[in-house]
Structure 1
C-alpha cells in the first residue's frame, strides 16, 4: 500500500531535520513524501534536497496560505492513502505508517487516526499535552469531539468524493474538513490506540490570544455549517483540552 505524506512548509529549516528523520526511520517502505514549499527564504529548499527521502516530490511556489498549499500537495500525491506531516511535527515511532497500513487492510475502513502529543517547542522530549483520542461514538461531534488532525490518514477517494480543504479558513480548515468527512461523506474511521504524532507547541492556532479568538470564530462557523451543534459544541471542544494537560501516557 503506497502512503503519501504531504508536508506544506514555509521557512521550516529549524525543525525540518527532526521531521525528516522520523520519515527516514519508518518501517513501512512504500512511502511517498510530497512537499509543497511556500517560497521559503531560510534555506528550507537546500535542506530538503540534502536530507529528504529518495524520490521526494518537491515543489516551491508562493501560495495563498496553509490550506492552499496542503491542497496543492494532495493533488500531486499518488498514494492510495494520504496523510499530512507538518515541519514542526514528527512521527512518534518507526511503526506509525505500518500501523496505518495494517488498519487499512480492512476494505470497510476509509481512514485512521490515533493519539497526539504536544511537546515543548524548545525541548521536544518534554510532553505538555497528551491527547488520547479514543474511538468515535455517535453524538461525539455535537460534544466537540474530533480526531487529532495530524494523525489522520485517509484513502485518496475520500478527497475525491468530499473535496479538499476550504481555503476561506485561515486556521480551522482542518476542523471544517474533518466535520465534512464525517458528516457529508460518512467516512468510516478506525482508531489506532498509539501516539502517532508529536507536535511542537506554538503553532498557528495557539501562538497568540488573537489567533485563539480567530480560531474559535472559525470553529463555530464550521460547527454551524455542518449542523453538528452550536455554542455548546464549541465550549465542549475547548474544555475537552483541559484534561490533556494532566493525562497519563
Structure 2
C-alpha cells in the first residue's frame, strides 16, 4: 500500500532537517514523500536539497498559506493514503508509518489518527494530546483528533473536498469535522504517540489570533451542523486541560 506524506514549509531552516530525517528513518518502504515550500527566503530550500534523493517531489513557489500548500501536496500525491507532517514536527519513532499502513490494510478503514506530544525547544513534553476513540457525537462534545496524526484515503479529498481556505487557521479542524462528523467516514484510533510537535502555532501566537481562531472554529461548527456550536466552542478548549495532567 503506497502512502503519500506531505510536508509544508516556509522559512524553517532550523527545523526542516530534523523533520525530514524523521521521515527518511521510517521503516516503511512504499512511501512517496512530497515537500511543498512556500518560497522560503532563508536557507530552507538549501537544507531540503541535501536530502533530495529521499524526496519524490519538491515544489518551491509562493502560495496562499498553509492549507493552500497542503492542497497542492494532496493533488500531487499518488498514494492510496495521504498524511501531513509539518516542518516543525517529527515522527515519534521509526515505526509510525508502518503502523499506519498496517491499520489500513488490516481494518479497511477510511481514516486513522493517534496521539501526539507537544514539546518545547528542549524536547521536554509540555502537553500530551491523547485522542481517544471517536464516537458518533464526539465532535459535539469538543472532540478533535490531532491533525498531524490524521491519515485518510486520498479518494476522500476527491469525494468530499480539500482544505477550505475560508476557515483560516481552523481549516484542518473543519476538514476532519466534515469527513468524520458530517460524512461519517469509518475511522480508527491508534493508541500510540505518532508525532512530536513543537509548541506554538499560528492560532496561538497572541490573543488576536486566538479570537480569530475561535471565530473560525464557530464558523466550521455551524457549517457542519454541530448541535450546539456555542457550547461546543467552550468545550473544545476545556478538553485541553487534561493534556497537561
> What TM-score, normalized to structure 2?
0.96
Write the distance in 2 (CA, Å) between the matches of 1:202 and 1:98: 28
Q: Give distance in 2, aligned partners of 1:64 and 1:157.
A: 24
Mapped partners of 1:177, 1:139: distance in 2: 16
Report the Cα offset of residue 157 of structure 1.
Answer: 1.0
**Structure 1: which 5+ runs fail to align?**
none
CA contact (8 A) 2:115 2:191 kept: yes
Structure 2 runs not aligned, ≥5 long: none
Matching residue of 2:240: 241
TM-score by length of 1: 0.95
The equivalences for 1:49-88 within 5 A come to: 49-52=49-52, 54-88=54-88
Distance 1:113 1:53, change over 3 A: farther
Question: CA-to-partner distance for each residue in 1:118-164, whole Å, 9 max, x for gaps?
Answer: 100x212x001001101111211100101111100001111111110
Matches within 5 A, 1:1-249: 1-52=1-52, 54-106=54-106, 108-120=108-120, 122-124=121-123, 126-229=124-227, 230-246=229-245
- Aligned-partner Cα distance in 1 for 2:234–2:53: 41
Alpha-carbon distance in 2 for matches of 1:44, 1:116: 25
How many pairs were matched up?
Answer: 244
- Secondary structure, in 3 states, of the residue corresponding to 1:171? helix
Measured after TM superposition, the shift of residue 53 of structure 1 is 5.1
**What is the rounded CA distance, in whole Å, between the counterparts of 2:201 and 2:55 in structure 1?**
28
Aligned-partner Cα distance in 1 for 2:192–2:182: 28
Q: Could you list the per-position Cα deviations for residues 137-196 of structure 1 after superposition, in whole angstroms to 9, with x for gaps in the alignment?
A: 121110010111110000111111111000122200001111110133321111110000
Deviation at 1:52, TM superposition (A): 4.4
User: How far does residue 210 in structure 1 lie from its aligned partner after superposition?
Assistant: 1.3
Aligned equivalents of 1:3 and 1:129: distance in 2?
Answer: 28
> How far apart in 1 are the matches of 2:182 and 2:127?
31
Structure 2 SS opposite 1:154: strand
Q: Secondary structure at the match of 1:134?
A: coil
- How far, CA to CA, are the matches of 1:73 and 1:20 in structure 2? 16
DSSP 3-state at the match of 1:6 = strand
Describe the superposition over 1:204-243 as per-residue Cα deviations: whole angstroms up to 9, x where unpaired.
Answer: 1212111111111100110111011311111111100011
Query: How big is each residue's C-alpha offset from its partner over 1:86-134, in whole Å with a ceiling of 9 and x where there is no partner?
Result: 00000110000000011001364101000011100x212x001001101
* Greater percentage in helix: 2
